[in-house]
Amino acid sequence: MAIKLYDLAGENIERRFSPFCWRTKMALAHKGLEYETIPWRYADKEKIAFAGSERVPVIVDGDTAVADSWKIAEYLEGKYTERPSLFGGIHGRAAARFVNSWADVVLNAALSRLLVLGILEHLDASDRAYFRASREKRFGMTLEAYAADIEGNIAALRGALEPLRVTLATQPFIGGDTPLYPDYIVFGSLMWARSIGKTRLLEINDPVEVWRGRLLDEFGGFARKAHGYW
Ligand SMILES: N[C@@H](CCC(=O)N[C@@H](CS)C(=O)NCC(=O)O)C(=O)O
Tell me which residues have their CB closer than 6 angstroms to ligand 1. 8, 18, 20, 42, 54-57, 68-70, 134
Confidence band (pLDDT; 50, 70, 90) for 1?
confident
Provide mean pLDDT across the span 53-82: 98
Q: On the CB side of 89, how many CA atoms lie within 13 Å of its CA?
A: 2
Considering the entire predicted model, what is its pTM?
Answer: 0.98
pLDDT (tens digit per residue) in 105-155: 999 999 999 999 999 999 999 999 999 999 999 999 999 999 999 999 999
Say how many Å lie between the CA of residue 19 and the centre of ligand 1: 9
Pick the CATH number of 90-221 from 2.60.40.10, 3.40.50.2300, 1.20.1050.10, 2.40.50.140: 1.20.1050.10
Confidence of residue 104 (pLDDT cuts 50, 70, 90): very high
Q: Tell me the CA–centroid distance for residue 33 and ligand 1, in Å.
A: 23
Give me the CATH topology for the region 3-79.
Answer: Glutaredoxin (3.40.30)
Preceding omega of 57 cis (within 30 degrees of 0): yes
Domain ranges of the chain: 3-79, 90-221
What are 71-93's pLDDT values in tens digits?
Answer: 999 999 999 999 999 999 999 99
Q: How far is the CA of 150 from the centre of ligand 1 (A)?
A: 24
